[in-house]
Amino acid sequence: MSSASRAPGRPLNPAIDDQILNATQDLLIEEGFERLSMDAVARRCGASKATIYRRWPSKTALVVSAAAALLQPPPVPDTGDLREDLLACGLAYMQQEGRTLQVLANLTTATQHDPELREAFREAVSSPYAGLFDAVLGRAAERGLIRPDLDLDTLARVFPAMAYQQLAAQARSLTERDVQRVVDAVLLPALGTNAVPAPTSL
């Protein structure tokens, strides 16, 4: 997620942006969203509050940018095989790195009680990943691989909903086994495809 719109003037220093975001991530892990303050971020990174507010207008904007900075959605997969594309989309939700998982878990929990944070988190963090499923399913429909009357919007939200629930309730990410089970036991049957899962040792 980009910083807030900036007024004309001297360009901002990207190195300071990184320091502020890193400090925010540290404090999210250590203190959680509720206890995190702009004052604490300023002290941690050695910047002034004015410096932070020049870049982000609120705590919500700052913490969402800090979370988004840890994530980079992959390109929309197009392997020529619908099952493989769905698996690739699902595997994008696996957050193996501890720092990223801790930040996401803290923020996801906080979104349950803060509608403004929930909407900002959805737009900046969740939507780019949900968009992978939107693109893959929409393309499959255009190619005639799935029935045109299916509720693709609902099916595209299966993985985002699962990922959100596990982060909020269990502070854990989806696993490869989770991904395979949902693709093979939920999505493919719902899509009415004849795809046959490959053998797995999981």
Question: For residue 186, how many other CB atoms are within 10 A of its CB?
Answer: 14
pLDDT of residue 169: 85
Q: Please give the Cα distance from 82 to 179 (Å, whole number).
A: 14
Q: Give the start-to-end residue ranges of the domains of the chain.
A: 14-68, 82-191
Q: How far apart are CA 115 and CA 50, in angstroms?
A: 26
Instruction: Indicate the CATH number for domain 14-68.
Output: 1.10.10.60
Give the per-residue pLDDT at 134.
Answer: 95
> Contact 179/90 with Cβ under 8 angstroms?
yes
The C-alpha torsion from 133 through 136 and 139 to 140, rounded to 10°, is -100
Query: How confident is the model at residue 14, as a pLDDT?
Result: 75
Please give the pLDDT value at position 12.
61
The answer to whether the beta carbons of residues 132 and 77 sit under 8 Å apart is: yes
In whole angstroms, give the CA distance from residue 57 to residue 43. Answer: 18
Q: What is the pLDDT of residue 158?
A: 92
Residue-level pLDDT at 7: 44
DSSP assigned state of 123: I
> Exposure string (b/e) for 154-174, b if CB count within 10 Å is 16 or more?
ebbbbbbebbbebbbeeeebb
Nearest-angstrom CA–CA distance, 51 and 130? 33
DSSP for residue 36: -
| pLDDT the model gives residue 43 | 96
What residue type is assigned to position 11 of the chain? P
Please give the pLDDT value at position 132: 96
What are the mean pLDDT values of the chain's consecutive 10-residue runs (202 residues total)? 44 83 97 96 95 96 96 93 96 83 92 95 93 96 90 93 87 90 95 59 44
Fold annotation for 82-191? Tetracycline Repressor; domain 2 (1.10.357)
Contact 3, 54 (CB under 8 A): no
